[in-house]
Each structure stands twice: as C-alpha cells, then as structure tokens.
Amino acid sequence: MQGLSAAPPAAFLNLLLLPLGALLLPAAAAPGAERELNPSSRLAAGTARLALHYLNSREASPGALQALGQVRKATLKSIPDSGHKYYLQFTTEDYKSGENTGSCLATVLYLKTKSLPVVNIKCTRTKDQNQIQEEDNRLYQKLRHQTKPIIGNNIPDSYGNIEPALEPVWALAVVGSSYIMWEKSTENTGYFMAQVKSAKQWIRKDDFIEFDYTVLLHEIPTQEIISCHMRLTWLPGHPLKVKYFCASENQKVEDGSGVESGSAAGILHERGANF
C-alpha cells in the first residue's frame, strides 16, 4: 500500500520469526543483532551436534567419525526474513574412543522455510589423515572380503556389547545415520543413533560395500524412538550413497490398529547417483 514506511519496526519482525507459543525458540534481540548463548545450553549443544552430523556424513569416513566434546562459544544471529544463524566453537572427540580429536568452527543456518540447515564447518584434527585412511581401508577390507554376507542384529545389544566382528558394520551405520540425522534435524529437534536393529550386507561385483540397515534414532526433545530403514553404499574416498525411509516406532501400535502417518511416510530420500 502507498505511504507505508519501508522497514517494519523491529518488534514486529521478531513476532514473525517467533512461532506462536514457542518459548523454545530463542528470542533474538533485534534483526541482525548477535546474542551470545550459554555454551551449556541445549541450543548450542544441539546445533553443534547437527554440524557434526553434517560433517560425519559428508566425510563418509568411519575412521574419521567425531562426536561432540564441549561447546566453547556460541552466538546466535537472527537474519531478517531468513532465519537464525549460529556461530559455534566446540571441541570434538573420536566417536569410538572418546579421545579428544581437536576442535571445530561452524556456522549453522536454520531457514524459516522447511529446507535443510545450511552448515559450514572447519575442524582442526589431532588425528592424522593417513591414520584415518588406514583405518578406513582396514574397515573396508574387513567388509569387502566376506564369502558370506554379514548379518547382524541389535548392535549394540541390550547390554551395550558390540561384537568385535560387527564393529565395522556399526561404524558404517553411524556414518549413514549421520546423513539421516542431519536431514531430519531442526533448530528444536535433534537426534542420536540409539541402535542398529538389523544389518544385512549385499555382496556386490564391483568394489562398493553395500548394506541394508534398520537403525533406531533417539529423537530429542520428543523422546521418540524413530525406526529408519537405510540402504547405503560405500567406498573409501567416495561420497556416501544413502537411501532411507523413517517411520516413528511409537506409531506402531500394540494392537496393530489405528496408525497415524509418520513424519516421513512415503518419502524416499536419495543422495548421490542412482544405485
């Protein structure tokens, strides 16, 4: 309409950014302004974790898998008409051993639209690139030279045990799940890989390793256990190919009646060239 001033007042913009009743979302002071977050806060930790899911899946390297150590610094900037951008500094640990592996600087942009979070991440590692490659190759050889396809269930089992022979299978599942978890995460919903419910290898004529997985993801803050079927192919030094389909396990009702549609019902996600 004619005569309206160009920029709406700051307070109004904030209302646009804050979904109704969502005390969960941080209240940014003013558009463009930066707000320092408590490094102990869930937003900081959750966002750092998301950045690592992205890194882990993009690197497609079981030997390089990293977990969150501690968040050192976190800043939140709200971008008008766009979303929230987080600036993070955090330490990392080796996913398997828990040993410190260095630190990362990352930015994560959560867009207002329902698109994937945009992640930029740079890490300094204590683990040598050669070391990582060796581990990947070791893992690869173990999985490649199977006369019979590997089959496993409940990794880890109820008591937290992972059979040594199945460790590579588990590590590969973490890589694949990282991709799923990155795609599914939002500013307020995060994931952990809780368990590999089943794993089945497909022996291929080419060099690629191929597995069918059912993985259980633990969803925060809903506490739901999400069951995802994942098909992945892997070759060291190549990007990961993941196809997946997730259904909420809780909707699998005890009596077998009345199921609500799950979050990703009927959607197949595929990354990379066709299988």
Partner 1 sequence: MKLILIFFALFGASLCLETFVGHQVLRIKTRNEEEIQKLQLLESLEHLELDFWINPSTPDLPVDVRIPANRVQAVKAFLESYGIEYSILIEDLQVVLDKEKQDMANSQQRDRSSNTFNYGTYHSLDDIYAELDRLASAYSNIVKKIQIGESYEKRPLYVLKFSTGGSNRPAIWIDAGIHSREWVTQASAIWIAKQIASDYGKDPSTTSLLNKMDIFLLTVSNPDGYVFTHTTNRMWRKTRSKNRGSPCVGVDPNRNWDAGFGGPGASSNPCSDSYRGPSANSEVEVKSVVNFIKNHGNIRAFLTLHSYSQLLMYPYGYKCTEPADYAELDALGRAAASSIRSLYGTTFRVGSICTTIYQASGGSIDWSYDYGIKYSFAFELRDTGRYGFLLPASQIIPTAEETWLGLKTIMEHVRDNPY
Instruction: Give the interface with partner 1 as residue ranges (CB under 8 A).
Output: 21, 23-24, 38, 40-42, 45, 49, 67-68, 70, 95-96, 98, 154, 156-161, 192, 194-195, 216, 218, 220-225, 249-251, 253-258, 260
Residue closer to partner 1 by CB (options 95, 211) is 95
Determine the Cα–Cα distance for residues 37 and 48; give it in Å rounded to an integer. 12
Single out the residue of 155, 189, 192 nearest to residue 172, CA to CA: 155
Cβ 237 to partner 1 shortest distance, Å = 26
Distance CA 186, CA 176 (A): 18
What is the distance between the alpha carbons of residues 45 and 11, in angstroms, rounded to a whole number? 28
d(CA 225, CA 52): 21
Closest approach of Cβ 194 to partner 1, in Å?
Answer: 5
Q: Which is nearer to partner 1, 41 or 82 (CB)?
A: 41
- Closest distance of CB 204 from partner 1, Å: 30
Residue 266 CA neighbour count, 13 Å, CB half: 2
Q: Least distance in Å: CB of 163 to partner 1? A: 12
Smallest distance from the beta carbon of 160 to partner 1, in angstroms? 3
CB 25 within 8 Å of CB 83: no
Omega of the bond leading into 39 within 30 degrees of 0 (cis): no
Cβ 36 to partner 1 shortest distance, Å? 14
Residue 146, CA distances (Å) to 105, 143, 151, 227, 230 in order: 40, 6, 11, 27, 21
If the CB atoms of residues 62 and 235 are measured against partner 1, the closer one turns out to be 62
Indicate the residue among 183 and 219 with the shorter CB distance to partner 1: 219
Q: Give the separation between CA 12 and CA 32, rounded to whole angstroms.
A: 14
Q: Which is nearer to partner 1, 206 or 254 (CB)?
A: 254
When the beta carbons of 40 and 141 are compared against partner 1, the nearer one is 40
